[in-house]
Amino acid sequence: MRILVTGGAGFIGSHYVRSLLAGEYTGGAPVAVTVLDALTYAGRRGNIPADGLDFVHGDVCDLPLLLDLFPGHDAVVHFAAESHVDRSVVSGVEFARSNVQGSQAVLEAALRSGVPRVVHVSTDEVYGSIERGSWTEEYPLLPNSPYAASKAGSDLLARAYWRTHGLNVSVTRCSNNYGPYQHAEKLIPRFITRLLRGATVPLYGSGRNVREWLHVADHCRAVHHVLTGGRAGEIYHVGGGEERTNLEVAQRLAALCGADPGLIRHVTDRKGHDLRYSLDDSKIRRELGYAPRIAFEDGLRSTVDWYREHTEWWAAPAAQGPDPDPLPHPVTSPRARTGQLP
Ligand code: NAD
């Protein structure tokens, strides 16, 4: 089996690639892997092994490149996206380009190249916010951030390529991921890397916003379940089942980092900040026999240990986003991230 992984140098994609190469989903049997990644600020070649895979530095919006690359692959797993909500609040341009146009190009190239199977990786944020209960796969899409809207657009394109052309594509929608190799701009690594340095952590608003946490290893295993057993045109939720307020997460991280909880500072809330996300993931459990294995407390502890032991991975300013230290707002200009400041 030869699998092409887009965004395979980012946080989740690189975990999936490392797992494939280690034969984790195939009883140790090797899987041939091609990674396509534009190596934006969020992607690093060093996140995946130097050898044992084909790496292509390229853009998912580049249809001629995709048409060159896709033939001969048995599957495409599409992770590549702009993924940080805060950046999409500053500017949605790159989100519309990479997430919508890029996904359309991936679907089109898969269709024209005769790739027999595609998994499109998406997010629970396409549903907006839910105060009580959990979303099933039938809920209407009500995205609130430009990031979520761009992912919703790509999900609809995936459905359209299945319905119109019969492309064998499934969509996964997962809750918030955490684990090693996550960019320090995201909530958990941002808090860990600041607490380990004795710096204050900025908590949006009251900190009452609830997120459902999913370890990246569980998410990637679920994606592979969907790749091998999921049905065409279907959506599968991947939830972690572990809901926490952001304040609870910050307090637990302070304890695990051995830091003063007084470092947690409430800052002006994010615009349009969703209050709660919660997925009903009974479909993937029932149909594909998947269930998460990593309890949040264990996963959080091992994630803190990983960041403690890999300071070289995150301590360089470039690894933390454009402006990591001043509070409350880490994001300055969307152009700063690519070093394209005038
Ligand atoms: P990430 O930002 O860590 O990695 C994204 C990767 O995609 C990077 O390697 C980047 O270089 C690459 N990329 C971006 N634009 C590209 C383009 N135009 N062409 C080629 N490569 C490009 O993101 P992540 O957290 O690993 O998320 C992966 C996927 O999972 C995304 O589709 C995201 O929407 C989805 N998701 C993430 C989470 C989460 O909690 N991190 C939750 C739900 C869904």
What's the whole-number mean pLDDT along residues 261-277? Answer: 90
What are the phi and psi torsion angles at 262 (to 5°)? -65, -10
What the block records as the tokens of 298 is 């264990």
| Terminal-residue alpha carbon distance, the chain | 46
Cα separation, 287 vs 120, in Å, equals 18
Q: Active-site residue 24, yes or no?
A: no
| pLDDT value of position 335 | 32
| Cβ–Cβ < 8 Å for 201, 194 | yes
Q: Is the dihedral of CA 298, 221, 18, 101 positive or negative?
A: negative
260 included as an active-site residue: no
Q: In whole angstroms, give the CA distance from residue 11 to residue 13.
A: 6
Average pLDDT of the chain to the nearest whole number = 92
Q: Do the Cβ atoms of 218 and 292 come closer than 8 Å?
A: yes
What is the position in ligand 1's atom list of the atom closest to the CA of 84?
Answer: 2
Residue among 5, 6, 12 to mutate when testing ligand 1 (max atoms within 8 A of CB): 12
CB 68 within 8 A of CB 113: no
**CATH 3.50.50.60 describes domain 2-319:** no
Question: Considering only CA atoms, which of 223, 105, 118 is closest in space to residue 169?
Answer: 118
Checking if the pLDDT of 334 tops 60, the result is no
How far is the C-alpha of 78 from the C-alpha of 60, rounded, in Å?
9
Residues 158-179 as b/e (b if ≥16 CB within 10 A, e otherwise) read bbebbeeeebbbbbbbbbbbbb
Q: Let me know: does 81 contact 36? Beta carbons within 8 Å.
A: no
CA dist., res. 172 & res. 321, Å (int) = 27
Secondary structure element (H or E) that encloses residue 15, with its range: helix 11-21
- Rounded Cα distance between 330 and 86, Å, is 9
Element (DSSP H or E) covering residue 226 = helix 216-229
Residue among 37, 94, 108, 124 flagged as catalytic:
124
pLDDT at 320: 52
Q: Predicted confidence band at 270 (pLDDT cuts at 50, 70, 90)?
A: confident
Q: Does residue 336 have a pLDDT over 80?
A: no
Q: Give the Å distances, CA to CA, from 178 to 128, 164, 240, 337.
A: 20, 35, 10, 22
Q: Name the active-site residue from 16, 41, 127, 147.
A: 147
147 classed as catalytic: yes
The pLDDT value recorded for residue 321 is 52
The number of the ligand 1 atom at minimal distance from the alpha carbon of 177 is 40
Q: Please write the tens of the pLDDT for every residue from 48-102.
A: 999 999 999 999 999 999 999 999 999 999 999 999 999 999 999 999 999 999 9
pLDDT digits over 288-321, tens only? 999 999 999 999 999 999 999 999 999 875 555 5
Question: In the chain, what are the domain boundaries?
Answer: 2-319
Which residues have CB under 6 Å of ligand 1? 6-7, 9-13, 37-40, 42-43, 59-61, 79-83, 98, 102, 121, 123, 151, 174, 176-177, 183
Q: Which pTM does this prediction carry?
A: 0.93
Which amino acid, residue 154?
Answer: S
Instruction: For residue 82, report the distance from its CA to the centre of ligand 1, in Å.
Output: 6
- The structure tokens 């761009």 sit at 150
pLDDT tens digit sequence for 224-254: 999 999 999 999 999 989 999 999 999 999 9
Confidence at residue 325, expressed as pLDDT on a 0 to 100 scale: 39
| Tokens coding 331 | 């994001």
- What does residue 76 show for φ and ψ, rounded to 5 degrees? -120, 130
Rounded to the nearest angstrom, the distance between the alpha carbon of 95 and the centre of ligand 1 is 11
**Per-residue pLDDT for 339 more than 50?**
no
**Structural contact between residues 187 and 204, judged by C-beta atoms closer than 8 angstroms:** no
Tokens of 122: 């998406």
Of 83, 101, 185, 249, the one to substitute when testing ligand 1's pocket (max ligand atoms within 8 A of C-beta) is 83
Rounded CA separation 84/183 (Å): 10
